[in-house]
């Protein structure tokens, strides 16, 4: 287990305390920020375990866009917790290091490139 911390940006279900408790074993504390050059769309979720945990059949997904921003929260988590969030996200998402409006960079799950 490592103590290294990383920043994770969430605009969707990872902001839910239920999802956080199941995924990380704790509730996260974050701050508001915006992911630059993305916009939101909705994705139909097929994974029954993800639907059960989130309680939703459709999740938001960030799609590349030149001039839009996505509002959400930035959380400081461990590298091990980041690996746990990778397991939670379905295959339609990929993790990228995104540029935030605050000037920082944070990991974010966005639509996979086709």
Q: How large is the angle between the packed helices 17-24 and 79-88, nearest 10 degrees?
A: 110
Residues 1-22 pLDDT 10s: 557 899 999 998 899 999 999 9
Residues in the chain: 114
User: Tokens in use for 8?
Assistant: 């994770």
pTM tops 0.75: yes
Domain of residue 64, CATH code: 3.10.490.10
Beta bridge partners of 58: 44
Residues 19-76 pLDDT 10s: 999 999 999 999 999 999 999 998 888 888 888 878 888 888 999 998 999 999 999 9
Q: What is the largest CA-CA distance in the chain?
A: 39
Give all strands (DSSP E) within the chain, no chain letters: 5-10, 30-44, 58-78, 93-99, 105-111
Closest CA to 98 of 79, 72, 77: 72
For residue 33, the enclosing domain spans 5-111
The total number of structural domains in the chain stands at 1
Cβ contacts of 17 within 8 Å, gap of 6 or more: 27
């Amino acid at each position: 287990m490592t103590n290294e911390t990383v920043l994770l940006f969430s605009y969707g279900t990872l902001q839910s305390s239920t999802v956080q408790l199941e995924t990380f074993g704790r509730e996260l504390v974050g701050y508001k920020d915006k992911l630059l050059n993305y916009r939101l769309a909705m994705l139909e979720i097929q994974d029954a375990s993800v639907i059960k945990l989130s309680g939703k059949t459709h999740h938001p997904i960030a799609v590349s866009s030149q001039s839009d921003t996505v509002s959400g929260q930035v959380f400081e988590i461990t590298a091990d917790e980041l690996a746990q969030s990778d397991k939670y996200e379905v295959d339609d998402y990929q993790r990228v290091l995104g540029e935030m409006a605050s000037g920082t960079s944070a990991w974010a799950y966005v639509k996979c490139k086709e």
